Chain A
Amino acid sequence: MDLFFKVIIGHIIFLCLISCNNSKPSSDSESSNKKVAINFPNKDSELALLMRELFNNSKKVKQQIQKGENPEFFTEFTKLHSAVPTDSTVRDDGVYTSFADIFISSVEDLLSSKIDKTKQYNFMIQKCLDCHKQICPGPVKKIKKLLI
């Protein structure tokens, strides 16, 4: 009979422990209570999204060059000519298009460069800055951080 009670109590202890553990709040429910920031509340244009991707790609390329690795571009930067811009008039005077051509050429030069990729990379970032200073100075400070 004692053995019977031992088994029963053993089961009850086990079930109690499981039950107590399960009743603890999960980390998921904790994280769901955290505040969430809204960073881009307005509709982003294709060009704005492309620029954001290009920034992230350039950041990675910077790290690759600093490590002595070959730079890789996953952004389809040739879309600079076709992506729909926030300001529909941005291509009207040809200034943006010229800067885009120079930038694309600087990326190609960087990819084919066998020596001094840092210099070629900084030249490419400088072309971004030249364009933005003239057309959209908002992200200039952010882009400057890409220089090596």
Chain B
Amino acid sequence: MRNIYFAVLVILASACSNEITTDTELNMSEEVMADENNEILETSQIFGDPTITEDGTVTGSELIKILETNDSVQVKVIAEISEVCSKKGCWMQVNLDENNSMLVRFLDYGFFMPLDAAGRTAIIEGLAKIDTLSIEWLKHQLEDASASQEEIDAITEPEISYTIEEATGVILK
């Protein structure tokens, strides 16, 4: 009878020990994941949708090609920031290639970029298209960029531009 009790005891201890080992492994893998996340967070920042990832990112040149045959495209594009709204960070201009830039604004005015983000690389998720920027907007953009009154007054025509009007998320590297 005692032998049976000891056998049960050993099995239970073993089962429990195995579970602890599994949990330990799980905790370790979580630590690795946390470390990876920390690594990402140390080198980059996320704005807007916190679930945004770098998967499926296209380059600026690739986006231009896509928009040659599509009116709009839901995309994640990687590009260098050339300019940020100097007052609030509520819009940014990114370089798609050497000759083309894109205006990016953020969904529901719900997140902004750091004022000093120009020169950093961004992954931007949203609906990209070629749009007409109104005279009012262009003037406002120049005002935000602290342009002179002469430069602002010189805007007399709308401008055709690549835009993501409502970016849902941004990873800033």
Chain A residues with CB under 8 Å of chain B are 2, 5-6, 9, 12-13, 16, 19-20, 23-25, 29-30, 32-42, 48, 86-87, 133, 136-139, 141-142, 145
Contact = CB atoms under 8 A, between A and B. Distances in A.
A14 B49 CA distance: 44
B147 interface: no
Contacts of A136: 140
Contact of A20 (B5, B19, B26, B166): B19
A29 B37 CA distance: 14
Contacts of A86: 87-88
A142 B2 contact: no
Given A25-B23, A42-B89, A138-B109, A37 B166 contact: no
A42 B48 contact: no
The size class of the interface chain B forms with chain A is 35 or more
A23 B20 contact: yes
A142 B16 CA distance: 55
Contacts of B137: 137
Nearest to A143: B109
A82 B139 CA distance: 27
Contacts of A24: 23
14 contacts: A12-B12, A20-B20, A32-B34, A36-B50, A37-B46, A37-B49, A37-B111, A38-B45, A87-B87, A138-B90, A141-B109, A141-B165, A142-B109, A142-B110
Contacts of A20: 16, 19-20
Contacts of A42: 88-89, 112, 114-115
B112 A41 contact: yes
A20 B48 CA distance: 39
Lowest 4 A-B CB distances belong to which pairs?
Answer: A39-B111, A139-B109, A37-B50, A41-B114
B126 interface: no
Contacts of A145: 108
Contacts of A133: 136
Contacts of B30: 25, 29-30, 33
Interface in B1-51: 1-2, 5, 8-9, 12-13, 15-16, 19-20, 23-24, 26-27, 30, 33-34, 37, 40-41, 45-51
B169 interface: yes
B105 interface: yes
